[in-house]
Every structure is written in C-alpha cells, then in structure tokens.
Amino acid sequence: MTDMRTINRFLCLGLCSAALVACGDNGTDPTADGGASEGQTTESDDTTGDPSGNPTSESKTDPTENDTGGTMSMTGNSDPDTMGETVNPTGETTVDVTVTDTNPDTDTDTNTDPTAPMPVCGDGNKEGTEECDDGNQEDGDGCTSNCQITAVCGNEVIEAGEVCDDGNVVDGDECSADCQVSTPDQVCGNGEVEAPEVCDDGNLVDGDGCQADCTISPPECGNMKIEGDEQCDDGNDVDGGPGDFCKNNCTAYVPPNCQAPPNYVVCDSNINLADKADKTNAHKAMGICNDMPNNSVQITNFEFTAAGNSSWQVAKGFGSYKYDADMDPNTPDTLLYSPREGDTFLMVSTGTISAPNNQGVVTEAGNSQVNQGDNGNADVPDSMPAPLSDEVGSKNGMGGTPFLQCDGVNDCSDTLFHQWNEVATGNPNDKLFFRFNTTVPAGTFGYTFDFVFCSAEWPVWVGSQYNDMFIVWQSDPTPDDPNADPPVDAYTGNVTFVPDPNDPDAGLPLTITALDTYYDGPGYSLQEPQLVGTGFETHACSDWFTAKGGVQPGANLDIGFFITDMGDQALSTVALIDNFRWDCKGCIPSEIDDCGIQQPQ
C-alpha cells in the first residue's frame, strides 16, 4: 500500500506540474515574482526544468524547516521523501514542506507587458495564455499544436481526465486502454479495496468490521460500535432510562422530557433537481422540512449565498460505485453515496458540479476535479462570513482551553485561527455559505448531520496552505450557569473538528491534512473503486461521517455551513450533506471524541 501511494504521489506531482500551470498568476499574489511563498526558501542554482516544463530538484532540507506550524503538519503520513518542487494550484513554481529549491526561470507569471511581442506557440517558451509549449506544433504529445494541455494515455503520468495510466494502451491489465478504468489485482488484506471486495481493512481478522474475505462484518449489538442499521450501541445491559439513551436492541431510547420529533416527515421526494432559483431546496435535501414541530426541524431566517449555481446541487446519488448494503444477494446493490434520509442530499463545491443524469445521480469524468478554476462564487472579503469567526473563543476569548469557558462570539474550539491565518494566510476563494436559525426542542441536548468530504488536493498538498475548508458553525446564546447541574457552558464555534492525535484535549479543523491518515487507511483514495464517477479518482473521498453538536434546550441557535478554496481556485473540494436531526442525548464539546466528527465504524 505504501508503494502504491508513493507512486501516485509522483504521478500527482506530475499532473499538478503540467495541468495546473494553466491557472497562472492573477497579478495580486505577493509571491508572483517567482520566489517562494511565506515560510519557504529558495535556491535557484540547484533546480532545472525538463522539456515539458516540469521542474526537478536535487537538494532537500529537514522537514521541520518548513513546518506549517502547530500539529497540522504532523498529523498524517505525508511521505515527505516522495514530494518535491511542484507548480502550485495558482500556477506558481513553489516548494512543498520538505524541498527548498525553486528556479526563477520556471516562473509562470502571466502578467503581460503591452509592449512585449505576441507569444509564439512552438518556440519552447510558455508565454501569455499558453498552457504549455513543448517546442513543436504536434498534437498527441501532451501539448497541442495551439499550446493547450491534453492528456496522453500510455505515458505513465495520470493527467486530467485520466483515472489511471500504466504506460501502455492495452486492455486486460491494471489500466484500460483508454486510461479510464483501473482494475488492480485483488488481494484481500492489503488495505486497498479492489473489485470484487466490499472492504479491506489491511488484515484477515473476522469481526472487526471487515471480514477475512473482505466482506462487511454483520452487526453485533452490544460491542459499542454502531454497525449496519443500528441506531446506537452503548455496550451495556441497561435497556434505556435516565442517563441511558440506547436500548438493548440498539435502538434509541427517547426520554419522556425530550421533545425532539420521534419520526421525521420526508419533504424532498418531488424536488426539481434543475431548480436553482428556489434555495429552500437545499435545506429540504438535508432533511430540514420546516413542517410541524412534532415531525421536522423548524428553521427561520434561511440565507443561501452562492452566485455560481454550478457550485451546488441537489442530487439522488453521486459517483458510480455500488455495493451490497443489506448483504442480501436478492436485492439490488446500492450506490455508496446515496441519500441518508429521504430521496436526495445536498452537494456543495469549491469547483463546479455536473448536472444530474436522468436518475438524479451526479457522475463526473475521471480525475476531473484538478483544474476547475473560478466557479463564480465570491473571493472577497478575506474574512469568514458572520457569525463565523477565526479568532479563538475559549477561556473567555483568551484561548488555550479548547471547548471550555466559551466567550459566545468566537471559535471556542480554537481550531480555526492557526489554519486560517498562519497556514492558509487568510486567502479564501469560491466561497459558498448558508445559515439558518432554529430553536432547540425541550429536553434536547444536541443535533447530528451526515456528510462526505472529497478533495483533489490530497495527497500532494497535505501540510500546505492549499487545504480547502468545510466549516459548520453554531452560535448558542444560552447564558453560562456554573451552578446548574450539570453546569451550563454554552458552546459557540466550529462543529466540524477532528480529534488532534497529538493533544487529547484539542481538535483540528476539517482539512485533507487532518484526514491524511484516514484517507491513507479506511478512507477511499488513489485507485480504489469507490471513487469511480466522482471525479476524484487518484485523490480521496471519505465515507459518510456523522457530525455532532452539543446545545442547550430552548436555545435559539444560529447555524452556518461554509465551504471555501484556500489559496487557489484550481483543486476542487466537494461536501455532501444530509440527515440533519435533533439528538436527545447530545454531546459534551470538551469531550473531543463525543462531539465533532464521528468516523464510521
């Protein structure tokens, strides 16, 4: 598995160096003079460019010299020895976290001098609006006769539009003759899901979620893992009651004082998927029906901000991969990315989303999420939309005690400031945001929703400034009451945080860096078949995660969902969102494994 990932890092680096150079510089980046970006160093005499325009490097430094700071750069296996100088998503020649060479001669600044001569395609110099210039005007060699990049199947480089490339154009091996279908040899227990496997957890042990034959383990109520159709699994013999929210048959126990709906109405069965004028379709697709208090989540003041209609989509499915969800060979297989409730889910993107097919399913061309460009959404201002705040909010605004003593205004998780300001340098693009108010039912202490996180930035840009962000925010105005039982410390801040493996009391914001180890393990990445039809082939998607927020009964919450490119507009990130529900039990934000993102068991 490590060897395959190393190979794919090289291939991804080649792709970024060739395909993304087309984006160029917009003239506003202070690093556009060919120097390295903040936190990076340059040595112009050790780097050369090959004929294709891809820089090569020879000298490396200690990885800690360019550490992006905090715990972010150390949370995953970023394989520093396999990463070198690349063309970054903005089209500039940059150095990753381990390499310190740049070559000023490879600067891709596209600013033009009105007195400069017109570019000449075929002279070997990339100029003006040329995407490439290989010194000839021949088609079929990766650079067309009009100096535009095109994929060449069979050159052992996975380029935009290709799912795989094994160096030949022959069917019957690990990559099809047209470079669109990857069929690696199936080996159960190698950690890679290969057809016809349903799962592969890297071992041949039964009963751990994935059986020794790479099929899903049947649910086992009482093992403290939520599996199959279980609603809960607390691993005890208490059949629900005060302080226990799970029955012995692994269904939820609803306390008499909890006024959350026991059952929810479905309101997305008849949505016109092509209707982008009615923005309420977005919350209906998530399961927020706004019907009656006893059958739906009630919201007010719904706002949806996205100038680019192709940046969001209501869909009935995503991708092409199907599996035997109910382990019944007599029933049809199910799309991996299917609705979690009702008939649809919401998709939001930092790039663009294709229109659904006649079954309502969005499918994307292979490896198509690497060079998306501007999607029409706002790039300014460089701040988060209200009520979100990147400032630390714990310890009454002083920071340092994540999730405790919230100031009620800023981010009490303390997870956003470092990533937003110091790693990504506060440079958002293609911003999409929506928000609503909702009142928490009596006796209810939380809410949940399900989501998927896919990104073309993985694996090349792990630990870098190019880490798109998906933030879900809650503002809970309930006054603090330390004398209450239990004490009230209402939480305001980021809800989509991941436990920090280096600090049991802290979290990390949701990015590819925080999910690197997950993507390299149980997540879906590189050539795994779950990515087919998503456009993220050779990159990564998560399974369905669940996020949990802890709230106070009766609070009038302000909840916001925000997705944005960071530092570039080329590499897309997509989130699927569904199944927003109240949760009687709720969670305690300061117990990191209790609130935030819950990975699937």
Per-residue pLDDT, 555: 97
User: Which residues lie below 8 Å from residue 590, measured CB to CB, with a gap of 6+?
Assistant: 402, 403, 404, 505
* Residue 566: HSE in the Cβ half-sphere, 13 Å Cα cutoff: 29
Q: What's the confidence (pLDDT) of residue 116?
A: 58
What are the tens digits of pLDDT across the range 517-560? Answer: 999 989 999 989 999 999 999 999 999 999 999 999 999 999 99
Give pLDDT, residue 412.
97
CB 472 within 8 A of CB 496: yes
| Residue carrying structure tokens 């969005």 | 362
**How is residue 335 written in tokens?**
């799309």
In sequence order, what are the residues at sequence separation of 6 or more whose Cβ sits closer than 8 angstroms to the Cβ of residue 551? 440, 444, 445, 446, 447, 474, 476, 490, 491, 557, 586
Q: Which helix (H) or strand (E) holds 507?
A: strand 507-509
Q: How far is CA 476 from the centre of its chain?
A: 26
3-class secondary structure, 269: coil
Question: What are the domain boundaries of the chain?
Answer: 2-106, 280-598
Q: What is the pLDDT of residue 558?
A: 98
Question: Residue 315: what pLDDT?
Answer: 98
Q: In what helix (H) or strand (E) does residue 13 lie, and over which residues does it extend?
A: helix 2-19
pLDDT of 86 strictly over 60 = no
Average pLDDT, the chain: 82
Q: What pLDDT does residue 509 have?
A: 97
How many beta carbons lie within 10 A of that of residue 483, not counting itself? Answer: 7
The end-to-end CA distance of the chain, in Å, is 21
**SS3 string of 517-568?**
HHHHCCCEECCCHHHCCCCCCCCEECCCEEEEEECCCCCEEEEEEEEEEECC
pLDDT at 387: 97
Sign of CA dihedral 379, 382, 388, 392: positive
Give yes or no for a contact between 476 and 551, defined as CB atoms under 8 angstroms apart: yes
Which DSSP category does 182 fall into?
B
pLDDT per residue as tens digits for the range 388-431: 999 999 999 999 999 999 999 999 999 999 999 999 989 999 99
For 342-399, how does the pLDDT look when each residue is reduced to its tens digit (9 = 90+)? 999 999 999 999 999 999 999 999 999 998 889 999 999 999 999 999 999 999 999 9
Q: If you ran DSSP here, which 8-state letter would residue 354 be given?
A: P
The residue type of 7 is I
Phi-psi region of 51 (alpha: psi -120 to 50; beta: other; left: phi over 0): alpha
pLDDT in tens, 96-144: 433 333 333 334 444 445 555 778 898 888 877 777 888 888 876 778 8
Confidence of residue 147 (pLDDT cuts 50, 70, 90): confident
- The sign of the torsion formed by the CA atoms of 550, 551, 553, 557 equals negative
- The residue-averaged pLDDT of 571-600 equals 90
d(CA 495, CA 549): 6
Q: Between 175 and 278, whose confidence is greater?
A: 278
Q: Which two tokens stand for residue 193?
A: 């899901």
Q: How do residues 291-328 score in pLDDT, each as one tens digit?
A: 999 999 999 999 999 999 999 999 999 999 998 888 78
- Residues listed for the chain: 601
The Cα 361–Cα 271 span in angstroms is: 14
pLDDT surpassing 50 at residue 434: yes
For 94, which DSSP code?
E
CA-CA distance, 338 to 453, in Å (whole number)?
14
Residue 193, sorted as left (phi over 0), alpha (psi -120 to 50) or beta, turns out to be beta
Alpha-carbon distance 47 to 455, whole Å?
A: 29
Q: What is the pLDDT of residues 209-240, one digit of tens each?
A: 788 998 888 888 988 777 777 878 888 888 87
CA 260 – CA 240 distance, rounded (Å): 17
pLDDT value of position 217: 81
Phi, psi of 449 (to 5 degrees): -150, 155
Region at 287 (left for phi over 0; alpha for psi -120 to 50; beta for the rest): left
Mean local confidence (pLDDT), 508-519: 96
Instruction: Let me know: does 580 contact 287? Beta carbons within 8 Å.
Output: yes
